[in-house]
């Protein structure tokens, strides 16, 4: 059994100072725990540098604002704290998890005066999906749960509450022998995976759902840029599930997932083809700091 996450060694940045990893605790009567008043980020450092550090911080602040609270530190302080966390943990290639939440002053739906807390942890997390399955393309099923209408939930925030349906969908997929689930949205359109965005390839063009009710991922935007700079057309549009039969390749994008090929979604099969492979390689180069000397390879 792997060491549980509350038992790692190291330090966590917690409300402005580093504390021993095992002491970075919250009380059971914390608003965030009961009412999901919590936002977070998932970032990766490569070669000692956090990829898109500022973009993730901007999203963390925007997510907090969407949930009606203000992070009590400047973006500069958070950026420096993230970098210092990776350094103190002695990591170069690492996952970084900032989290901000409402504390304990009020315990009810209303939490107008609650203190906002912020923590940043970092750990080594090499591959989100099993590396062998990743090589062949992961197997996915279609989730029962749907991404909510923007009038039903603050769907552009990276907020803890939005992950309830992701965990339910991922658990069901895993119980059925799949690696992940593809979620439709409230209209029945293809949306995304439980923690990553989705792309399809047909006739040399990429097709990806318009992110109007789910996270427009930072990796998604990076990969769209990489594809376009290679001359690959990227079409953001409505994709209906019955179109899956017509696509040749499929992959997921996300900070944790990076570019992960998909081999199967329910009855539909895809090949791990040249465009997916090229973008996997280009992404792996793009995330490395220029100082690592790898950027010129592509």
Interacting residues with ligand PMP (CB under 6 A): 42, 158, 166, 192, 195-197, 214-215, 217-220, 253-255
Q: Which is nearer to ligand PMP, 39 or 111 (CB)?
A: 39
Q: Which is nearer to ligand PMP, 23 or 174 (CB)?
A: 174
Integer angstrom CA distances of residue 17 from 12, 31, 50, 85:
8, 22, 20, 10
Q: Which is nearer to ligand PMP, 114 or 156 (CB)?
A: 156
Which member of 75, 82, 158, 172 is catalytic?
A: 158
- Min dist CB 104 to ligand PMP, Å, is 27
- Min dist CB 223 to ligand PMP, Å, is 9
Q: Which is nearer to ligand PMP, 185 or 192 (CB)?
A: 192
- Min dist CB 143 to ligand PMP, Å, is 12
Q: CA quadruple 260, 261, 263, 266: dihedral positive or negative? A: positive
Q: Which is nearer to ligand PMP, 195 or 209 (CB)?
A: 195
Closest residue by Cα to residue 186 from 206, 157, 209: 209
Q: How far apart are CA 38 and CA 36, in angstroms?
A: 5
Q: How far apart are CA 284 and CA 262, in angstroms?
A: 17
Q: How far apart are CA 155 and CA 213, in angstroms?
A: 6
- Yes or no: say if 137 and 29 are a contact pair by the CB < 8 Å rule: no
Match 């791990």 to its residue by tokens.
272
Q: How far apart are CA 36 and CA 92, in angstroms?
A: 32
- Min dist CB 273 to ligand PMP, Å, is 22
Known catalytic membership, residue 170: no
Q: Which residue is nearest to ligand PMP (CB)?
A: 217
- Min dist CB 195 to ligand PMP, Å, is 4
Q: How far apart are CA 1 and CA 61, in angstroms?
A: 35
279 burial level (CB within 10 Å; 0-12, 13-18, 19+) = buried
- Min dist CB 180 to ligand PMP, Å, is 11
Angle at 58 between CA 146 and CA 6, to 5 degrees: 70
Q: What are the φ and ψ backbone dihedral angles of 185, each rounded to 5 degrees?
A: -100, -175
Q: Which is nearer to ligand PMP, 111 or 207 (CB)?
A: 207
Q: How far apart are CA 284 and CA 180, in angstroms?
A: 22
Tally of CB atoms within 10 A around 17: 9
Q: Which residues are catalytic?
A: 158
């Amino acid at each position: 059994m792997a060491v549980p996450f509350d038992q790692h060694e190291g330090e966590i940045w917690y409300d402005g100072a580093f504390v021993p990893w095992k002491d970075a605790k919250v009380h059971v009567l914390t608003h965030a725990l009961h009412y999901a008043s919590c936002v977070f980020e998932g970032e990766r450092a490569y070669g000692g540098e956090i990829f898109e550090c500022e973009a993730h911080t901007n999203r963390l602040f925007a997510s907090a604002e969407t949930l009606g609270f203000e992070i009590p530190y400047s973006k500069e302080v958070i950026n420096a704290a993230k970098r210092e966390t990776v350094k103190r943990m002695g990591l170069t290639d690492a996952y970084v998890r900032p989290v901000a939440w409402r504390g304990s002053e009020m315990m009810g739906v209303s939490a107008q005066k609650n203190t906002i807390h912020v923590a940043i942890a970092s750990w080594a997390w090499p591959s989100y999906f099993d590396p062998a399955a990743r090589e062949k393309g992961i197997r996915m099923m279609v989730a029962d749960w749907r991404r909510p209408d923007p009038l039903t939930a603050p769907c552009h925030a990276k907020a803890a509450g939005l992950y309830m349906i992701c965990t339910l969908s991922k658990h069901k997929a895993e119980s059925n022998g799949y690696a992940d689930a593809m979620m439709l949205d409230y209209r029945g359109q293809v949306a995304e995976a439980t923690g990553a965005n989705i792309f399809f390839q047909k006739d040399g063009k990429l097709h990806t759902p318009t992110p109007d009710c789910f996270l427009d991922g930072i990796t998604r935007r990076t990969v769209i840029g990489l594809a376009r700079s290679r001359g690959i057309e990227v079409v953001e549009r409505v994709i209906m599930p019955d179109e899956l039969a017509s696509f040749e390749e499929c992959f997921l994008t996300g900070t944790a997932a990076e570019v992960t090929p998909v081999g199967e979604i329910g009855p539909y099969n895809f090949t791990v083809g040249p465009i997916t492979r090229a973008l996997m390689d280009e992404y792996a180069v793009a995330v490395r700091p220029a100082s690592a000397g790898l950027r010129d390879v592509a």
